[in-house]
């Protein structure tokens, strides 16, 4: 067992970036930056780290074939030790919340911890439910950031989380459509394999459209300048989604770069949310 494995298995860059995303979510909710955001930073970092470890724990057999260099299959850390480590990280992350955070933040932290474990153990291989879990967990960072201000902060960031959820789900489904051929070879049970490419892309387009519509409601919070910024971004997102809609094969969807357009729109919308929160609060 190598001490460095305890760092590598948590995917430190991913965990730290998630922590900073929680800080940005607080800024979007409040338009300010306070020392108390360190609570969010460390809670998100630790719970994300725990999720990464429990994911490796459940993927140990698959990683032994596909990623033999990962800490568990390489023998740097045992599977049992990884399980104990994941539980410890989950407990510390939630304990910080119980000790220092308001009730809404504690509730979200506990729910997300359970969902991260459930995703790694079961939901990952379930069509659509896995996509929904990933989309919620990604979008819930905005609820997490707002929750430091109590229910008022959660409500303030609810439209941001809703818009993000719709767009993230759209991209997740389109990525499944892109990977359809490879997933079929490996026996995966994704939505496009079970229900067809066209049906999956149709759901993806509907989800992106819903996300865009929700984003427009933030006009009532941030005003005309926000609308001027978000409309071009929403157009890029819808353009990306509809590029996939006209494709007939997974290869055509890859060539359309649909998911790339949506990804660019996601990052641009985050910038618009952040600037609007700071400038128009």
Q: Between 91 and 59, where is the model more confident?
A: 91
| In the block, residue with structure tokens 């290869």 | 251
Which pLDDT band holds residue 68 (cuts at 50, 70, 90)?
confident
**pLDDT average, residue stretch 255-277:** 95
Q: Give tens-digit pLDDT for 173-218.
A: 999 998 887 767 666 788 888 888 899 999 999 999 999 999 999 9
For residue 256, give both structure tokens. Answer: 């359309």
Q: Which residues contact 185 (CB under 8 A, 6 or more apart)?
A: none
Instruction: Report whether pLDDT(3) > 90.
Output: no
**pLDDT average, residue stretch 252-272:** 94
Residue 120 CA: distances (Å) to CA of 79, 87, 124, 178: 14, 13, 6, 22
Could you give the percent of the chain with pLDDT greater than 70? Answer: 98
- pLDDT given for residue 69 in this prediction: 86
Average pLDDT in the chain: 92
- pLDDT given for residue 186 in this prediction: 66
Which pLDDT band holds residue 70 (cuts at 50, 70, 90)?
confident
- pLDDT given for residue 1 in this prediction: 66
- pLDDT given for residue 110 in this prediction: 97
Q: Give tens-digit pLDDT for 5-16.
A: 899 999 999 999
Instruction: Report whether pLDDT(236) > 90.
Output: yes
Instruction: Report whether pLDDT(100) > 70.
Output: yes
Residue (of 17, 91, 25, 13) closest to 54 by Cα position: 91
**pLDDT average, residue stretch 26-39:** 93
Query: What's the pTM?
Result: 0.92
Instruction: Report whether pLDDT(275) > 80.
Output: yes
- pLDDT given for residue 59 in this prediction: 85
- pLDDT given for residue 4 in this prediction: 86
**pLDDT average, residue stretch 92-105:** 96
Instruction: Report whether pLDDT(165) > 90.
Output: yes
**82-88: long-range contacts, CB 8 A cutoff, minimum separation 24:** 82/9, 82/53, 82/54, 82/56, 82/57, 83/54, 83/57, 85/6, 85/9, 85/53, 86/50, 86/53, 86/54, 86/57, 87/50
Domains for the chain: give ranges and CATH numbers: 1-149 (1.10.357.140), 150-281 (1.20.120)
């Amino acid at each position: 067992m190598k001490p460095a494995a305890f760092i590598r298995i948590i995917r430190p860059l991913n965990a730290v970036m998630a922590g900073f995303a929680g800080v940005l979510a607080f800024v979007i909710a409040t338009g300010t930056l306070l020392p108390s955001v360190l609570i969010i930073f460390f809670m998100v970092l630790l719970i994300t780290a725990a999720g990464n470890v429990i994911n490796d724990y459940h993927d140990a057999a698959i990683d032994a074939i596909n990623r033999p260099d990962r800490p568990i299959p390489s023998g740097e850390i045992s599977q049992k030790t990884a399980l104990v480590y994941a539980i410890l990280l989950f407990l510390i992350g939630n304990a910080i919340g119980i000790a220092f955070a308001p009730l809404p933040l504690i509730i979200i932290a506990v729910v997300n911890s359970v969902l991260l474990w459930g995703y790694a153990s079961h939901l990952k291989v379930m069509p659509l439910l896995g996509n929904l879990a990933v989309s919620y967990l990604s979008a819930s960072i905005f609820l997490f950031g707002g929750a430091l201000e109590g229910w008022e902060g959660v409500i303030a960031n609810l439209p941001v989380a809703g818009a993000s959820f719709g767009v993230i789900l759209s991209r997740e489904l389109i990525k499944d459509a892109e990977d359809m051929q490879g997933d079929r070879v490996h026996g995966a049970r994704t939505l496009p394999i079970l229900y067809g490419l066209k049906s999956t892309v149709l759901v993806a387009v509907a989800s992106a459209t819903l996300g865009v519509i929700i984003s427009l409601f933030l006009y009532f919070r941030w005003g005309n300048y926000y609308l001027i910024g978000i409309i071009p971004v929403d157009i890029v997102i819808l353009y990306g989604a509809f590029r996939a809609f006209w494709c007939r094969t997974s290869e055509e969807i890859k060539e359309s770069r649909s998911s790339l357009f949506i990804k660019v729109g996601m990052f641009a919308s985050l910038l618009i949310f952040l600037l609007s929160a700071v400038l128009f609060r």
